[in-house]
């Protein structure tokens, strides 16, 4: 069915000016919708408006204007119904470090109205499922980062929500813990039909987990689709040339732009990126042209389009560069 578990239209949110900071327009007319049972990845750099979107959809914060419905309820008019229907895993760890894993889960279950007996039962099931059974009676402050994050997700699931919000679930985790958590999220959406809204600034994570992607930039959605659709929107291959010296006066750039079959040349320091029709024929031409002008080259790579290229094309900035600036 084409019912939407989540629909947001024209969300605007401005944070007032504070000491030493100007007012910040975090959301600038953001609209997004997620069909039931789909994992939607909200992808974008820090400060793009991902967390603000999640905070508004979870009723934690309020938009200045715009509307949103989650699990069929209006976030402004029916916040209590929304709160019962959702699970929220904030960006920062949301467990009480002084309490044990079991106590955290039981308290959360009881807040949602489970009886003591049911809350304990549900807590034990979740500990088991996330591989934390042996640690359930230890205070959370003794947990590793990966264990704490699993507990956070478990805390979001205690009351069997219809929609789960994961705000940067794997930031700061080691690769093994990240892979673990990915499998868990895939299982949730696959076997249990849970609708998930996931924010991330890892392209790899979005590619792996999300059935639908929405790319956020400056508080708006700049592109939407499946990862494949977004990548298919890019013609040809991507060629990257790493130079010995930075192309400060733009000679290399204009040189490459003149070559047939090459367009969209972008320069970032020592690196040039170009979209080409066919990587295999473009590389010899690029190398030949550079050699004619005696421009030293460190490396040339050809790749199929990645989400990074999608992002680059949509925002004019490479994802990594944006990340470093943020």
Partner 1 sequence: MIAHTGLVFGRFMRASYRQPALIAFTLVQPAIWLLLFGQLFQGVVHIPGFGDSSYIAFLTPGIVMMTALMTSGWSGTSFIQDMERGVMDRLLASPVSRGGLMAGQLLSNATTTFIQTILVFAIGIAAGARYDGGAVGYLVTIAASVLVGLAFGSLSNAVALLTRQQEALIGIFQFVSLPLTFLSSIMIDPTVAPHWVNVAARFNPVNWATIAARQSLAADPDWSSVGRYSLYLLAFTLIVGWLSTRAFRTYQRSV
Q: What are the residues binding partner 1 (CB under 8 A)?
A: 15, 55, 58-62, 80, 83-84, 86, 88-99, 103, 107-108, 110-113, 139, 152, 155-156
- Residue 142 vs 254, nearer CB to partner 1: 142
- Residue 55 vs 273, nearer CB to partner 1: 55
DSSP code per residue over 39-92: EEEEE--TTSSHHHHHHHHTTSS--SEEEEEETTEETTT-HHHHHHHEEEE-SS
In whole angstroms, the minimum distance from the beta carbon of 26 to partner 1 comes to 11
Q: Do 184 and 153 meet the contact criterion of CB atoms below 8 Å apart?
A: yes
Q: Do 244 and 297 meet the contact criterion of CB atoms below 8 Å apart?
A: yes
In whole angstroms, the minimum distance from the beta carbon of 306 to partner 1 comes to 31
- Residue 34 vs 155, nearer CB to partner 1: 155
In whole angstroms, the minimum distance from the beta carbon of 229 to partner 1 comes to 32
In whole angstroms, the minimum distance from the beta carbon of 48 to partner 1 comes to 17
In whole angstroms, the minimum distance from the beta carbon of 98 to partner 1 comes to 4
Q: What is the dihedral of CA 111, 114, 118, 120, to 10 degrees?
A: 0
- Residue 88 vs 202, nearer CB to partner 1: 88
Q: Do 43 and 319 meet the contact criterion of CB atoms below 8 Å apart?
A: no
C-alpha of 91 from chain center:
11
225, containing H or E segment: strand 220-225
Q: Do 199 and 50 meet the contact criterion of CB atoms below 8 Å apart?
A: yes
- Residue 117 vs 293, nearer CB to partner 1: 117
């Amino acid at each position: 069915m084409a019912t939407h578990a989540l629909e947001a239209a024209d969300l605007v949110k401005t944070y007032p000016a504070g000491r030493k900071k100007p007012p910040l327009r975090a959301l600038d007319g953001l609209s997004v919708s997620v069909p039931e049972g789909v994992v939607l990845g909200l992808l974008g750099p820090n400060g793009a408006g991902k967390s603000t979107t999640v905070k508004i959809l979870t009723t934690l914060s309020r938009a200045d204007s715009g509307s949103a419905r989650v699990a069929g309820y209006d976030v402004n008019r029916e916040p209590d119904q929304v709160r019962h229907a959702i699970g929220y895993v904030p960006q920062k760890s949301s467990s009480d470090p002084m309490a044990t894993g079991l106590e955290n889960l039981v308290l959360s279950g009881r807040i949602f109205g489970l009886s003591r007996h049911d809350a304990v039962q549900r807590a034990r099931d979740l500990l088991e499922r996330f591989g934390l059974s042996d640690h359930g009676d230890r205070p959370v402050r003794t947990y590793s980062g990966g264990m704490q994050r699993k507990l956070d997700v478990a805390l979001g699931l205690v009351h069997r929500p219809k929609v789960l919000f994961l705000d940067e679930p794997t930031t700061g985790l080691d690769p093994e813990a990240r892979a673990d958590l990915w499998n868990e999220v895939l299982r949730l959406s696959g076997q249990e039909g849970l609708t998930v809204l996931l924010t991330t600034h890892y392209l790899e994570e979005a590619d792996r987990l999300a059935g639908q992607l929405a790319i956020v930039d400056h508080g708006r959605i700049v592109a939407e689709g499946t990862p494949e659709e977004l990548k298919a929107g890019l013609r040809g291959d991507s060629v990257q040339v790493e130079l010995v010296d930075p192309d400060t006066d733009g000679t290399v750039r204009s040189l490459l732009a003149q070559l047939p079959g090459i367009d969209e040349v972008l320069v970032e320091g020592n690196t040039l990126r170009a979209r080409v029709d066919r990587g295999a024929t473009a590389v010899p031409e690029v190398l030949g042209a550079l050699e004619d002008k005696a421009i030293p080259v460190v490396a040339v790579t050809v790749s199929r389009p990645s989400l990074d290229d999608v992002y680059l094309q949509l925002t004019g900035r490479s994802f990594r560069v944006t990340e470093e600036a943020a």
